[in-house]
Amino acid sequence: MTDRDIALAIAFIQENFRNPTLGVPQIAQHLGVSERFVYKLFSDRGDRPYDLLLKLRIAEGRRLLTDVANDGLSIAQIAVRSGYSGPAQFSRAIKRSTGKTPTEFRLRRPARRR
């Protein structure tokens, strides 16, 4: 295992986190290694591949919810654009992360200046 291996895995996740079917099998296939190897790569840094995937998806969801340019998007559309398979999964993740539902989180953003 090398720093290059983990860098390639991280880069692949960063480029593909919006795909709701992305998981360790796809990461392993992309790298040409076993799933066990992928888990080992991340555990050596005290992490799990899923943790990075979740972090990126939540960050994207929060960004989309607070960007006024996305006011026309529904919560379901933001969920899909953030890499979730549907709004229920997205809502649970945002609620765990922020303590607010996606709608509440969206409404708390500062008012747009006119």
- The CATH number of the domain holding residue 40 is 1.10.10.60
Contacts of residues 97-104 at CB distance under 8 Å and 24 or more positions apart, as own/partner, are 97/58, 97/62, 98/62, 102/61, 102/65, 102/75, 102/78, 103/75
For residues 44-76, one letter each, b for 16 or more C-beta atoms within 10 angstroms of the residue's C-beta and e for the rest, the string is eeeeebeebbbebbbebbbebbeeeeeeebebe
What's the predicted TM-score (pTM) here? 0.88
52 is a domain residue:
yes
Residue range of the domain that includes 75 = 3-107
Domain assignment present for residue 50? The answer is: yes
For residue 2, the model assigns a pLDDT of: 78
In a domain, 113, yes or no: no
pLDDT along the chain (114 residues), means of 10: 88 97 96 95 92 96 93 95 96 95 86 50
Total tally of structural domains belonging to the chain: 1
Q: Is residue 85 part of a domain?
A: yes
| Residue 101 maps to a domain | yes
